[in-house]
A = this chain, B = another copy of it.
Amino acid sequence: MPKVHFYPDNRIVEVEDGENLLRAAMLAGVHVNASCGGSSTCGKCRVIIEQGKAEAKPTAKLSADDIAQGYVLACTATVNEDIEVRIPIESQMGDSKAALDRELETVSYAGFLSAKDLSELFGEFTINPATKRLYVELTPPNLEDNVSDLERLRRGLNRQHGVADFNVDISVLRKIAGTLREADFKVTATILSLGGGECDRLVKLDAGDCSARHYGLAVDIGTTSVYVELVDLATGETLAKASEYNTQVSCGEDIISRIVYSLKKDGLQKLQQLVVETINKLIDRVVERAAVELDDIVYMVAAGNTTMTHIFLGISPKYIREEPYIPTATFTPTVEAKELGLRMPEGARVYTVPSKASYVGGDITAGLLASGVFKSDKLTLYIDVGTNGEMALGNADWLLSCSCSAGPAFEGGSIKNGMRATKGAIEQVRINPATLEPMILTIGQTKPKGICGSGLIDAVAELFLTGVINEKGRFNLELDNPRIREVDGQGEYVLAWAADTSIKRDIVLTEADLDNLIRTKGAIYAGITTLLDSMQIPVEAIEEILIAGGFGRYIEVDQSITIGLLPEVEGEKVKYVGNGSLLGARLVLLSREAKDVVIDIAQKMTYLDLSTNPTFMDRYVSALFLPHTDRDTFPSVMRRMKAILSA
């Protein structure tokens, strides 16, 4: 791993090969002013490469003279070898000392579950999807060999592919005769093997050989966002991904308001149509991106929280909301895609990953599958920070799950300039404690459009550590800084000035945003501690924390601890799973064995109902502070604050 030596701060940091130089500075705790998210448009992050070479994009912000002197814009430069970098005084724009005093180790990202980890996990399951596409060449009938078309097909599939008996959809039966003859009796049969006591089934018949075109969709139906992944069921490869806000958001931001909406006249039907419209739009997008035919997509596996999957299947979530909180079903049958109005070919099927209870859904069981918790020997805390904060604690032997209504803040909901973790979202933030100037990086390194979950964690932690906000999330309006202002009686901080953004408006973080974020993190923290206490397990006993959700890629563990989202744990214990629900759905899509495992997880896991838990509400109220009412539980945060403020 190449080393970067920063001057005048004299700090050295090791980074991944190809790391962005601005991110390297963040890692090193070195402040470089940067306002444009890494899009090289503000030109503020000028640094000089004094030793070695850093690749950088050409930019009009640097003159030929600058370049000759070794200047680059840090936000576009990548580190590929050991280099020495000097931050000129104009890029510091103030005293960088304060940043310097941070301890280096405080900057540890939640390690991403690496490709290697995943392949190890995936390696357990051979690719064995529920559908098969089998090409057969049949001898055309004659007066001596005059069995029915179906019998002929059955015979061919048996002889050429060893397929035993199968049932058949009436819709396929209606087309067999025509397809066989138009295709000169050379056809591709799509066979669905559901297992679980169900007979194999011929669900689709196509002319010619399309056995190599065998696609499926993994879908995560979140309360706020929907993710669709197009997967090649022959190779396991993901061909395209797309995500979008769940259009249901127009009917309410959280689960409870959706349930309330579903009780209106035609409310359930409307919600069902909205989510299906969202998915259909995403299907169109992945189909176009991957340039495959819609007609070759034969199977979908969807995961989501229990309310979302109920609505998706057209089942009323009414009693999920009413005590004693009963879902209609946690295990739901495989249904025809057309039954739900999905833009998939006739015969295509949809399976929904099983839930545990009304508030622990298929997103959690899918995540526990995908992250390997179900077979881990480490005591693991798995947290899916979605609109509903669902989590589970346990290992290969036992699993205890619960859920708390977190709200959509980390997905950009209920935050003024919030957005999902897509291109243009501010995902990393540093604030210079002296100048209170930010240093921001966006996803895709383009001009900022808004802020996503990981950016929020960073921003709030930094504002808190630099004393811009207090433990209640209120702004210190006495600070004389143009970035801190009062609008309509409410404090706010300007993360990016209009000129530097792609939306041509200031991107700000308001007190209302902070309130929402604090409620969200408070609920999650209360959930975590309730879960631990109910098993009488201390925080230190946790061997691994897996965070799932639609954050940006760079969740910093210490920043998460700083705001009191996570309890105090060692940084290396925390890993970011990404969208665990989607990952799990993809696994179940690819492997019937994975489906068996996820069913097993849903059956064996225990559910702790927080709504009836006597201590949860107290814990929640105590957690509505930064980092917490009980500061003693966050000693490292107190240490960091002191270090920065005393600088």
Contact = CB atoms under 8 A, between A and B. Distances in A.
Interface of A: 141-143, 146-151, 165, 167-170, 173-174, 176-178, 181, 196-200, 313-316, 318-319, 323-333, 335, 339, 357-358, 609, 612
A177 B141 CA distance: 51
Contact of A330 (B148, B168, B176, B315): B148
A329 B173 contact: yes
Given A167-B198, A313-B170, A333-B168, A177 B324 contact: no
Contact of A174 (B151, B176, B316, B357): B316
Given A170-B335, A176-B329, A199-B197, A143 B609 contact: yes
Given A173-B315, A174-B328, A176-B329, 10 more contacts: A141-B324, A147-B326, A150-B328, A167-B197, A167-B198, A170-B313, A170-B335, A173-B328, A177-B328, A198-B198
A417 B250 CA distance: 69
Main secondary structure of the interface of A (DSSP, over half): loop
A313 B146 contact: no
Contacts of A327: 148-149
Given A173-B328, A174-B315, A319-B177, A197 B165 contact: yes
Contacts of A609: 143, 146
Interface centre among A148, A168, A314, A319, by most chain B C-beta atoms within 10 angstroms, is A148
A358 B147 CA distance: 9
Nearest to A165: B197
A327 B146 CA distance: 9
Given A167-B197, A173-B313, A324 B142 contact: yes
A196 B168 CA distance: 13
A358 B328 CA distance: 46
12 contacts: A141-B324, A143-B609, A146-B324, A147-B330, A168-B333, A170-B339, A173-B315, A173-B328, A174-B314, A176-B328, A197-B200, A198-B198
A327 B151 CA distance: 10
B331 A141 contact: no
Contacts of A196: 165, 167, 199
Given A178-B316, A196-B199, A316-B177, A325 B170 contact: no
A181 B318 CA distance: 12
A318 B150 contact: no
B176 A333 contact: no
A174 B327 CA distance: 11
A324 B143 contact: yes
Given A198-B199, A327-B149, A333 B167 contact: yes
Contacts of A143: 323-325, 609, 612
Contacts of A197: 165, 167, 199-200
A150 B316 contact: no
A154 to B, nearest CB: 9
A170 B331 CA distance: 12
Contact of A149 (B150, B328, B335): B328
Contacts of A165: 196-197
A331 B147 CA distance: 11
A165 to B, nearest CB: 7
Q: Which of A151, A177, A197, A331 has the most CB of B within 10 A?
A: A177
A607 to B, nearest CB: 8
A148 B329 contact: yes
A170 B333 contact: yes
A151 B328 CA distance: 9
